[in-house]
Amino acid sequence: MFLTPIESARYFVDSAQRSVLYMDTLRKRGNQALDHHEAGKPPVLVFDYETVLDGAAFDRPCNYLLLRITPPDDAPTDPVKRPFVVFDPRAGHGPGISGSKESSQVGVALRAGHPVYLVSFRPEPEPHQTLRDVARAEMKFLIEVARLHPEAPKPAIVGNCQAGWAIMMLSAHAPELASMIGIAGAPLSYWAGVEGKNPMRYLAGLTGGNWISAMTADLGAGSFDGANLVSNFENLNPANTLLGKPYRLYANVDTEADRFLDFERWWGGYFLLSREEIVELTSELFIGNKLTQGRILDDDDEPIDLRAIRAPIVVIASEGDNITPPPQALNWILDLYSDVAEIRANEQTIVYTVHPDVGHLGIFVSGKVAAREHDSLVNSLDLIDTLPPGLFEMVIDDVCTENEHGITCETYTMHFEQRTLDDIRAYDDGRADEEPFRAVARFSEINEGLYSTLLAPWVQMMANPAAAEMRRMLHPQRLRYTLFSDANPMMAGVKLAADLVRDNRVEAPPDNPLRQIERGMVESFQRTLEQATDRRDVAIEQVFKAIWTHPLVQALAGEKATHADSAKPAAGQRRALEQVRDLKLAGIAAREHEGGFADAVLRVVYAAVKAGRRVDAQAFAAAREIWMKHERFRVLDRDAFIEKAREAALMVAFDEQAALEALPRLLPTERDRADALHIIARIIELHPETATEVRQVQQRVERILEQSTQAA
């Protein structure tokens, strides 16, 4: 490698200037954090908004608010379109990340013309606020949104990360409030994961359970500092925290600073949870993993059963997510159902999509994900509404073009493919590794009881608000902001130096040999840290297994762990629900000969879907245009159409032969049959891949109608 004196000088000047600009960016970040704190830590939205409801005024007060997003002037909302209600996670940070840029969950829904609301929250909880208080407030929010949009369908609700748990519990308790449920990066099955990966699930087993969370909240005078949760997230990948993220800013400080500051405004805004909330979260949802087992009770002491949800559920996960890996996002389906037939019997539609590589935050922050996954969700609501009960994967394929500048992928196509539970199991390496977590959960309950009885009164007696606030101010997560702000006199000359650098900026090109050496050294150090992290994670897993798989520990836990797949919720309630479904299916079967033109066409459409095992979004949109223009479909309003579609789907799912054999009674005249066959033929032709099986359905229907005509 030959290095000229000019290249060398240019690099050292560039490196020094980047150092100054890097420090100035950290100074701006610190000032931004202080300003955000002084302003009360409002949501980090780029859209204007107004407060609709404030949970602090409720009978059971909480720190949650319902905000209405003000649409941009060039994208007015349609009052008859389904409203979207977005729930941001309360897992250490504040609200607004779902609308922190134009290309976001909020932005996608606004651009599609939907009224959009955000469930926000204040930095500090109300005294002794519980998760149930929050759930009551959120129910009131959804009722109010529905009241404000009487001509629109029920709201579609989207929950990110921890908020995904919240809206799933809410929807199981009050299934009539939402028309669609989207959950992004939500670990509903926290014990799940692949051995050798996903070490975060083991941490509670090494600390003896959630008594530490309770003690931390007691030291905080009844409040748990969200900065502790953020530290846990960052410790998962020290190489990125200590080297990757800072170096990306340093290496690209001229172009990266604004994006860095936008993200850090949210990342550095730490919020608090009440003692009651953090104990509930850790004991019931994290360590206890009780939600999918039907072991969380509502106010009436009735188990919350996720199978009571009636709205379609859309799950967004990612292979690159090390906080909520796909097994944690998807295994709740295995916990609730034994096979797809049972999903259909419960009249449930579950759709999932798994991104190949985006990280946890990228699932609901990345502009690329917003332009694909969330855009797909928003623009396929009508299709999802009319999917037959069952399990589907939303497959999104980029449409790429090649030109002189390379390959660009700016658009995509989307379709839904039928899946089985084996497709969900394929994301995991088996579920036997979940068994030791039952012992962890049991010991966690014991340790928390001992702590609450013997130590908590003394800790609470010693704690006070002033000392708690001092501890929060001195938390390393906050110090890295305040120490680099203008509040630190040592930073006084940084702004002046940065201004001088900007006026006399000299950049070394990326192919400068010393810049390449710099990049190589950082990457080498980063790989070393990653290897050390891998060894740490292996050690954590080995220690966890050594402790919690020991027969003595298992015996002391008081129960032999059973296989996770058999942990179905509330067996007695399950049998009652199955009896209700059997009665309903019997009633549907009795109505196979009832109905008319629309019912007949829909039965054939769902038979074609069943045969082809996929639904193409573009074909569906075109098909919908065809049948909705027909005079016999136009008379149906949206709710009546969806009701007929779902009943047709159920009939086809459970007795396709009987459903199709009844078509002659639904189409008694020659004109009825000719019109129906014409519509069916046009719809099937729209399918991009008219499979042989689909054509066979069409021919089968033609034979049934022809034989009926001949018999008459």
Residue 108 CB contacts under 8 Å (≥ 6 apart), including other chains: 370, 371, 374, 375, 378
Pairing of strands 49-54, 180-184: unpaired
* pLDDT tens-digit series, residues 83-99: 999 999 888 899 998 88
The token pair that represents 215 in the structure block: 């003690």
Share of the chain above pLDDT 70, in %: 88
Query: 80, 327, 381: which is closest to 191 by C-alpha?
Result: 327
CA 609: distance to chain centroid?
A: 27
Residue 192, judged by CB atoms within 10 A of its CB (0-12, 13-18, 19+), counts as buried
What number of helices (H) and strands (E) belong to the chain?
34, 13
* pLDDT tens-digit series, residues 462-476: 999 999 999 999 999
CA 4: distance to chain centroid?
A: 52
Query: 54, 97, 252: which is closest to 184 by C-alpha?
Result: 97
Query: 174, 156, 144, 166: which is closest to 58 by C-alpha?
Result: 144
- 622: pLDDT confidence band, cut at 50, 70 and 90? low
Share of the chain above pLDDT 90, in %: 52
Query: 147, 131, 128: which is closest to 85 by C-alpha?
Result: 147
- Predicted local confidence at residue 560, as pLDDT: 53
- Three-state DSSP class for residue 205: helix
- 149: pLDDT confidence band, cut at 50, 70 and 90? very high
First to last CA, the chain: 91
- Predicted local confidence at residue 534, as pLDDT: 93
- Predicted local confidence at residue 564, as pLDDT: 42
* pLDDT tens-digit series, residues 588-605: 555 666 778 888 888 888
- Three-state DSSP class for residue 117: strand
364 and 160 in contact (C-beta within 8 Å)?
yes
190 and 429 in contact (C-beta within 8 Å)?
no
H helix intervals, 485-512: 494-503
CA distance 461 to 448: 18
- Predicted local confidence at residue 407, as pLDDT: 65
- Predicted local confidence at residue 489, as pLDDT: 93
381 and 312 in contact (C-beta within 8 Å)?
no
CA angle 493, 497, 499 (to 5 degrees): 120
DSSP state of 241: I
Which CB contacts under 8 angstroms, 24+ apart, belong to 474-479? 475/225, 475/227, 475/228, 475/270, 476/231, 477/227, 477/230, 477/231, 477/268, 477/270, 478/33, 478/227, 478/268, 478/270
Question: Does the pLDDT value for residue 326 go beyond 70?
Answer: yes
Q: What is the mean pLDDT of residues 667-685?
A: 79
CA 163: distance to chain centroid?
A: 8
Query: 95, 128, 138: which is closest to 224 by C-alpha?
Result: 128
318 and 357 in contact (C-beta within 8 Å)?
yes
In 10 A of CB 473, how many CB atoms? Answer: 10
Place of tokens 């006399």: 504
Query: 277, 154, 165: which is closest to 217 by C-alpha?
Result: 277
96 and 44 in contact (C-beta within 8 Å)?
yes
